[in-house]
Amino acid sequence: MSGGEWQVERLAREGGAVERWTILGEARRNSLTMAMLAGLRDLAARAAGDRALRVVVLTGAGDRAFCAGADLKERARMGDGDVASFHRALREALGALEALPQPVVAALNGAALGGGLELALACDLRVAAEGVEVGLPEVGLGIIPGGGGTARLPRLVGLGRAKELVLTGRRVGSAEALAIGLVTQVAPAARLQEAALALADRLARNAPISLRQAKRALDGGFDLPLEGPAVPGVSALGPSGKKADYCNYATKPGAGEIELSAPGGWSRDGSGRRPTAPRRT
Ligand code: COA
């Protein structure tokens, strides 16, 4: 399936459905256009209601860039009002991506710069090909990161390191990005997609409701005090407040709502059968 500036592949993987979303803009280094952001918002809206979808992998076409930030050629044709609209569209699209109930893995097939790194930061996990460069070079261009990078980067690497990166605007190679926690894994370029899908499989093999609720608890609870109420709307016991709820709930493809499966175990396929012993990788 491909629509506009995105290619969407639905992959039936062992752990459940995984989708790979690829930015189709290799000639412009997958830079961000208004059409591409509208496409991302539509994809996120659809995925948010898709209970069978376990994990999304987001990547770019080719091997030069994951995303080179705002499309500077489109930008050159814009007036001030259009630029403001672009920034609003950028924040909305990245917010919708970040708010997806499913985990999203960014597969950095090439450079992720400016809005391109902000796009990667709105994902949950980042796997980079060896040799790619990432950075927020905006201050050198007379602007500042406008897509949430100044808020998301410090949460990932700490305020001091984020200040160093944003205020210098310097680019970081994949090895340093791994060392500072900006990416969680580096793979040889030829094996990047395989590595990202293997990680997606590792996530998708887990109990589906637990996976979504754990993401919600992490995002919602990150900056809450340790004592006090739990993250609003997320109970460690599951939706009904009963023991091991998350283990007893399964997501059935096609069913609008979460359904209770046979007691004793969640099922990957909605059959209610207990899964075979989990693999450890
Ligand atoms: N917007 C629009 N077009 C872009 C672009 C962008 N952000 N970045 C690259 N391109 C275009 C180039 O203009 C060029 O087009 P052309 O073939 O019509 O001349 C084409 O992509 C290839 O660019 P090139 O620089 O030769 O590619 P590369 O593979 O050697 O390097 C990058 C890729 C991403 C490392 C490099 O293009 C780059 O550093 N771009 C700037 C990114 C940036 O500063 N973004 C922050 C914006 S706030």
pLDDT in tens, 15-66: 789 999 999 999 999 999 999 999 999 999 999 999 999 999 999 999 999 9
**CA–centroid distance for 107 within its chain:** 9
Catalytic entry in 74, 118, 194, 259: 118
Domains and CATH numbers, the chain: 6-204 (3.90.226.10), 208-268 (no CATH)
Distances in whole angstroms, Cα of residue 45 to Cα of each of 42, 211, 224: 5, 19, 27
How much is the average pLDDT of 146-162? 97
Tell whether the model's pLDDT for residue 240 goes beyond 70: no
Taking CB atoms within 8 Å and a gap of at least 24, the contacts of 43-50 are: 43/6, 43/8, 44/93, 44/96, 44/97, 44/99, 44/100, 45/96, 47/19, 47/100, 47/102, 48/96, 48/99, 48/100, 48/101
171 lines ligand 1 (CB under 6 A): no
Contact 138, 158 (CB under 8 A): no
pLDDT at 224: 82
Per the model's pLDDT, the better-predicted residue between 115 and 256 turns out to be: 115
28 lines ligand 1 (CB under 6 A): yes
For the record, the structure tokens of 135 come out as: 């950075």
Mark whether 118 is an active-site residue. yes
Determine what percent of the chain is predicted with pLDDT higher than 70. 80
- What is the C-alpha to C-alpha distance for residues 215 and 237, in angstroms, rounded to an integer? 15
pLDDT at 42: 97
Tell whether the model's pLDDT for residue 245 goes beyond 60: no
pLDDT at 247: 55
Confidence band, pLDDT 50/70/90 cuts, at residue 222: confident
Tell whether the model's pLDDT for residue 168 goes beyond 80: yes
Nearest CA to ligand 1 atom 10: 28
Tell whether the model's pLDDT for residue 130 goes beyond 60: yes
For the record, the structure tokens of 70 come out as: 């705002």
144 lines ligand 1 (CB under 6 A): no
- What is the C-alpha to C-alpha distance for residues 129 and 171, in angstroms, rounded to an integer? 15
Residue listed under structure tokens 């406008």: 146
pLDDT at 214: 93
How much is the average pLDDT of 98-123? 98
pTM greater than 0.95 (yes/no): no
